[in-house]
Amino acid sequence: MNKNDILELAQRGIIRVVFTKTDGSERIMKCTLHPDLLPVDDRYDQSIVEKTRKENPNILAVWDVEKHEFRSFRINSIVSIDYLQDVKSSS
């Protein structure tokens, strides 16, 4: 799977990603990029952040649904990905 495939899955619902952290340990994370599950943050305009932050094509930032924080992982460190749950949009 490439970054775009993973991005598409995360935007549709909740996925479980198993990856190797930089310290060599393995991490299992349930995460999403579905708009209805992301936090609302009025402190900044997301479009400005996206324009000023340089995107790293090897890293994907996602919302960890268990830790309730944004986390990231390197695409090349992925051991496995499972699609867990569709999320129905509230709009």
What domain range includes position 76? 3-86
| Cβ atoms < 10 Å from Cβ of 33 | 21
pLDDT on residue 77 = 97
Whether 65 is covered by a domain: the verdict is yes
**CA-closest candidate to residue 20, choices 91, 85, 88, 78:** 78
The residue with greater pLDDT, 84 or 17, is 17
Residue 43: what pLDDT?
47
pLDDT at position 47: 54
12: helix, coil or strand? helix
How many domains, the chain? 1
pLDDT (average), residues 4-12: 93
- What mean pLDDT value characterizes the chain? 86
- DSSP characters over 24-64: S-EEEEEEE--GGGSPP-TTS-HHHHHHHSPPPTTEEEEEE
Q: pTM of the entire structure?
A: 0.81
- Give the CATH number of the domain where residue 39 resides: 2.30.30
In the predicted model, is pLDDT for residue 5 greater than 50?
yes
